[in-house]
Amino acid sequence: MDFSSPDSGAIQVTNDRQAQFTSEKFSQITVPTGDFETLEISGLYTVTTDVTFATRDFNGTETLWFAEGVGLVKDFVEQDGSYFIELVDYFIPER
């Protein structure tokens, strides 16, 4: 990404993400779309952000739930607080 500043010109921003995930277990979860049997995977990650004038590492944990035939139904992240994403609707076209 490049950002322009009227005072200093272009600022270069680089992100590098390193992660290691393992499949944990099968679990039943409920999201706004309904109940799903899912494969739960979780892991640790580090994102290194390098800006022209500074470098910072962000460390966190992430858990993802995938349902067969649907895909990702939930994503939970903890890094300086926490947030989650849940599936609220989906459509599988007929073949």
pLDDT at 6: 54
Q: Is 17 left (phi over 0), alpha (psi -120 to 50) or beta?
A: beta
**What is the total residue count of the chain?**
95
Series of mean pLDDT values for 10-residue runs along the chain (95 residues): 54 85 92 96 91 85 94 93 93 84
At 39, list the tokens. 């494969």
How high is the pLDDT of residue 1? 46
